Amino acid sequence: MVDSEPEAGGQFLRGRAKFEHRGVTHLKNTEAWLVEDRTLHLRGPKQLHFDALVIATGAYDRPLPFPGWDGPGVITAGAAQALAKQGVTLAERVIVAGTGPFLLPVATALLDLGATLVGVYEASSPTRWLRESKAVLANRHKIAELASYRKVLSHLETRTAVIAKHGDRVTVAKLDRHWRPVSHRTEHADLVCIGHGFLPRTDLVPNAKRTNDFLDVDERQQTSIPGVYAAGEVTGIGGADLAEAEGIIAGAAAAHQEPPARALEAVRKGRLFAQALARAHAIQPGWQTWLNPDTTVCRCEKVSLQDLSDATSMRELKLTSRVAMGRCQGRICARNAAELTGIPFDGQRRVIAVPIPLGELAALPEEPS
């Protein structure tokens, strides 16, 4: 088990998972950067040769840009949660904004650390969930989970978004169903935590088939590449319990064992929830009206909306405007840039999953024997 973090647990259980299992070697603080045939290349450099590989690299928050999002005092909800789990107090007055139920645990964690919660703003309308009764009934435990966030529910405003931040002045807007602002007011906050859904971290398998960027898997969690399995948020966003159940199936299948029926059932139900989640919290195009011509779209290369050139493909757009060409390699901005220009999003094949010093590349063995 290879993981870039010092402890097992990932985004949800970080630090709380006491992982220990005989027969499992846990390589901590270790990043994987390339899959080449049956070899997994690790930083170091080091190679692992496998018969089966399970990709469980999770997802990261997608932030939507607005004037001021690239300035101080704006971070992603995921980053806020990770810091909160380390007990870091981030600010006095905080806002959590975006879409999806994962805003609630973040707000709770910040509140527990003693922050003043100015508001939790959900861009979508809660009525969208009324159409999802089948998914909700199959996942009643999610409602119970909701109850554990009651402390922050009183701060929750739906059809609401942060659409600008200048210093500690935050413009909070009421939205129509396309997420176009219909009215706005000013709030004061030192920190705005944003998360508009998630993007999967799939760079290790750039050639695996995917739908809407998430990896396609069969009922045994196998990707389109034989012997390569995927589990968790790389296949879709449905919460930690679905991710765990997928991991159980992928692990069993990779070891040529029959997956437990309970896990299969949990995945079946969990996927209903994941699909409902994707529909109920789908990004609506009205966010594009939050930007001014000079609003930053790509932070690494300082590319603003007005710099996005006419182009017919992502590659052309990148090479003429430099959007998505910087340190993050478009992980944060490419999707947004595609939507802002109407260019089809091509899933961004990146062949090197994490930056790797030239010295390590030079030290690779002659042939991955």
Ligand X SMILES: Cc1cc2nc3c(=O)[nH]c(=O)nc-3n(C[C@H](O)[C@H](O)[C@H](O)COP(=O)(O)OP(=O)(O)OC[C@H]3O[C@@H](n4cnc5c(N)ncnc54)[C@H](O)[C@@H]3O)c2cc1C
Binding site for another protein (CB under 8 A): 34, 36, 39, 41, 207, 301, 311-313, 315-316, 319-320, 322, 325-327, 329, 350-352, 355-359, 361-364, 366-368
Give the CA dihedral 350, 352, 354, 357, nearest 10 degrees: -140
Give me the residues paired with residue 286 across strands: none
CB 319 to ligand X: min, Å: 12
- Among ligand X, another protein, none, residue 4 binds (CB under 5-8 Å by kind): ligand X
Residue 83 to residues 75, 110, 197, 359: CA-CA distances in angstroms? 11, 10, 19, 32
Measured distance CA(237)–CA(270) in Å, rounded:
10
Residues in contact with ligand X, counted by CB under 6 A, come to a total of 28
Helix (H, G, I), strand (E, B) or coil at 190: coil
CB 233 to another protein: min, Å: 23
Residue 322 phi/psi, 5-degree rounding, is: 70, 10
Nearer to ligand X, 63 or 68 (CB): 63
- Among another protein, ligand X, none, residue 89 binds (CB under 5-8 Å by kind): none
Helix (H, G, I), strand (E, B) or coil at 288: helix
CB 200 to another protein: min, Å: 19
- Among another protein, ligand X, none, residue 127 binds (CB under 5-8 Å by kind): none
Angle at 178 between CA 174 and CA 184, to 5 degrees: 20
Q: Which part of the chain contacts ligand X (CB under 6 A), choosing from 63-71, 205-213, 239-247, 332-340?
A: 239-247
Q: Are 303 and 291 in contact (CB under 8 A)?
A: no
Q: Is 201 in the site for ligand X (CB under 6 A)?
A: yes
State both tokens at 55: 């990709």
Nearer to ligand X, 222 or 304 (CB): 222
Nearer to ligand X, 68 or 78 (CB): 78
At 206, the amino acid letter reads P
At 211, the amino acid letter reads T
Nearer to ligand X, 159 or 196 (CB): 196
Site for ligand X in 41-60 (CB under 6 A): 56-58
State both tokens at 12: 């949800």
Nearer to another protein, 79 or 325 (CB): 325
Given 84, 106, 156, 280, the residue binding ligand X (CB under 6 A):
106
Nearer to ligand X, 182 or 319 (CB): 319
Nearer to another protein, 71 or 344 (CB): 344
Measured in whole angstroms, how far is the alpha carbon of residue 237 from the centre of its chain? 8
- Among another protein, ligand X, none, residue 70 binds (CB under 5-8 Å by kind): none
Measured distance CA(207)–CA(59) in Å, rounded:
18
Give me the residues paired with residue 191 across strands: 94
State both tokens at 185: 């007011």
Helix (H, G, I), strand (E, B) or coil at 287: helix
Given 119, 239, 251, 270, the residue binding ligand X (CB under 6 A):
239
Contact flags string 317-346 toward ligand X, x per CB under 6 A: ------------------------------
At 172, the amino acid letter reads V
DSSP 8-state code for residue 232: G
Interface ranges with ligand X (CB under 6 A): 2-5, 10-12, 31-32, 56-58, 61, 77-78, 81, 102, 105-106, 201, 232-233, 239-241, 243, 353-354
